[in-house]
Amino acid sequence: MTVSVSGLVKAYPGSRRHPAPVRAVDGVDLEVADGELLVAVGPSGSGKTTLLRCIAGLEDPDRGRVSIAGRDVTGLRAGDRDVAMVFQEYALYPHLSAGRNVTLGLQARKVPADTVARKLQEVAALLDLEDALERLPSELSGGERQRVALARAIVREPAAFLMDEPLSNLDAALRARTRADIRSLQRRLATTTIYVTHDQVEAMTMGDRVAVLRDGRLQQVADPDTLYARPATGFVARFLGSPPMNVVPADALGISGRAPAVGVRAERLRIVPRGRFRGEVVAVERLGAHSIVHVRRGEASILVRVDRDPPAEGAPVEIDFDDDDLHLFQSMDGARLP
Amino acid sequence: MRRVGTLAVPYVAGILLLVAVPSLGAVALAFTDFSGVSAPVFTGLDNFRRLLGDEGFWRALGNSGVYVVIAVPLRLAIAVSLALLLNRRGPGVGAARAAAYLPTVVPDVAYAFVWLWLLNPFYGPLALVADAAGYSPGWLTDPWGARISIAVMGAFQIGEAFLVALAARHTIPSVIYEAAAVDGLRPLQVVRRITLPIMAPVLALLALRDVVFSFQANFVPALVLTDGGPRYATTFLPLYIYRQAFRYFRLGYASAMTISMFVLTALVIYVQYRLARRWRLI
């Protein structure tokens, strides 16, 4: 089922210290195709969670519309929107067993008991939860809680899944594994999913498309390859990628006149005997397969990826690049110039 | 550690002097014939034997039981309902919370006199309303009317239970309610399936506490409002014991009744506790 958002605005009243209202979501238009996994990513305060909560029906937008499966749901309460949500802190009902947590939504909708039991068995098998169903949330591990929260969403067979940073409470190893699990599960179920995260690695690895938000506005919505290859703004360029793109004033790269700010990926810079500009190595991050060299040139800090034999800290280096690899921007955060 | 111990001295001394010693005295007196004038005479289990055949005692015990059965659920229901209603912040909520607590801090005797006026069959405001509706109120002259009146009166002094329930409700994270909203639970389903079950351990504790409280708390209203009548309908155990002790000066006998009331209360608490454990409430 498709999910679409048009002209969505949600503002919160200002505080005593900052009396102006804060527009958490500021005119967002978004179309999520049937079966697609769209990741909304942005730094904290970018409005991604508020956007998700407006779609879920947990917040009333000030303006704009939310449609799910072609039906305008803007005025409907959360329970009538046919969406399921996975919360960052899982929000399991503490007094109910894992199994009852999964089925409460079905029971509230008066689904017949034998259907509820069958669906519970199916989803428990799918998520490897058969042995956990009788236990209370407090008796489950973090990973099991996370799977119960997923099961609670999946068992309802909703029009769309809404996931709010569902991996942020897991340790790094489990997070990487669960990331892949959720991705393959979503493909198998082919349920439209909106996935919110602040982690750009999650965004790039999981999303069919990624929506980058900043200050409540969409910066760019595109597939991960496009985002990486042709970021629409300097902000997107500096937010995505590991390491993020070098976006600096043009004269820092020894060129001028073409754009106020230029960007170039670390792996497109080369340390050579004679290059287009010269800088000083201030730090070297050795990551095993490659190293990231931090080079200072004037005020700017530039990252260079080196596959072997990084230079010593403090050494002067010459750096070269091709003009084809430059990205031109109106400003450090501003729009891309053609 | 020694400093903390020192700080507890006044409290411990108070407990010993005002509670422990008189309690032990009451236990000792229960086995004597004592009028308060001459020296107590040891009579063994005579007081307790007499108790078994005392119609007044059984009637008072029955009245107290009826009061507990009516008052405890009523008080809990009102305290919890108010806590759930006044849980959210909003205009007037602070004042409403204060109003909910207020009857609890009014001195018992003053509070009883307010109700004496409210329930007065001739010029009380409730009587005027009842008259206008063509109903002649018998709430202090009819045995059941009087019992229910005293229970209703107690149903407004729920400040502590209200506060405890409010605090318990506050500990439930709002994201649980958001999950329930997305799951499609209606407001009443949320109360029945989420809020009350999560609060259940606290509610069970409140119920235990209120039973203890209700066995004792009807003394002042029964004394001021109905003087134990009509036809002994509101002569609850505390009032009956008080009369035996300070009207008829049967201090030994009254002590025996006090001990019995203590044991009975403990028994009810134990049964409640076992039930709560069996239902996995606590």
| Distance (Å, whole) CA B147 – CA B140 | 8
A179 part of contact set with chain B, CB < 8 Å: no
Which residues have a Cβ under 8 Å from the Cβ of A201 and sit 6 or more positions away? A242
Determine contact, residues A210/A264, Cβ cutoff 8 Å. Answer: no
* Portions of chain A given CATH number 3.40.50.300: 3-236
Residues of A in contact with B282 (CB under 8 A): none
- Average of per-residue pLDDT across B123-138: 78
Q: How is residue A213 written in tokens?
A: 């938000």
Determine contact, residues B238/B25, Cβ cutoff 8 Å. Answer: no
Q: What is the CATH number of domain A3-236?
A: 3.40.50.300
Strand partners, A196: A40, A164
**Chain B contacts in chain A segment 235-294 (CB below 8 A):** none
Q: Which stretch of A259-268, B123-132, B146-155, B264-273 has the lowest confidence by average pLDDT?
A: B123-132
Q: What is the pLDDT of residue B215?
A: 85
Residue A120 pLDDT grade (very low, low, confident, very high; cuts 50, 70, 90):
very high
Pairing of strands A277-286, A316-320: antiparallel
Please name the CATH architecture into which domain A246-254+262-329 falls.
Beta Barrel (2.40)
Q: What is the number of helices (H) and of strands (E) in chain B? A: 16, 2
* Percent of chain B whose predicted confidence (pLDDT) is above 90: 40
Q: Is the pTM of this model over 0.90?
A: no
Residue A63 pLDDT grade (very low, low, confident, very high; cuts 50, 70, 90):
very high
Q: Where are the domains of chain B?
A: 56-278
pLDDT at B227 over 90: no
Residues of B in contact with A91 (CB under 8 A): 173, 175-176, 178-179
Residues of A in contact with B168 (CB under 8 A): none
Mean model confidence pLDDT for chain B: 88
Most confident of A66-70, A240-244, A296-300: A66-70
Q: Of A80, A87, A109, which is closest to B179 when you measure between CB atoms?
A: A87
- Average of per-residue pLDDT across A30-37: 94
Most B CBs within 10 A among A53, A55, A58, A152, hence the mutation to make, goes to: A58
CA–CA min distance A183, chain B (Å): 22
Domain B56-278 has CATH 1.10.3720.10: yes
| Distance (Å, whole) CA B77 – CA B180 | 23
pLDDT at A125 over 80: yes
List residues in chain B touching A: CB distance below 8 A.
173, 175-176, 178-186, 189, 193-194, 197-198, 200
Q: What is the pLDDT of residue A231?
A: 94
Q: What is the pLDDT of residue B2?
A: 67
Question: Comparing C-alpha atoms, which of B173, B202, B186 is closest to residue B79?
Answer: B202
Residue B282 pLDDT grade (very low, low, confident, very high; cuts 50, 70, 90):
low
Query: What does the pLDDT look like over A172-226, one tens digit per residue?
Result: 888 888 899 899 999 999 999 999 999 989 999 999 999 999 999 999 999 999 9
Residues of A in contact with B198 (CB under 8 A): 93-95
Residues of A in contact with B184 (CB under 8 A): 78-80, 105, 108-109
Query: What does the pLDDT look like over B73-121, one tens digit per residue?
Result: 999 999 999 999 999 888 899 999 999 999 989 998 999 999 888 888 7
Residue A43 pLDDT grade (very low, low, confident, very high; cuts 50, 70, 90):
very high
Q: What is the pLDDT of residue B1?
A: 59
ipTM score of complex: 0.87
Q: Of B183, B186, B198, which is closest to A95 when you measure between CB atoms?
A: B198
Q: How is residue A47 written in tokens?
A: 């409005």
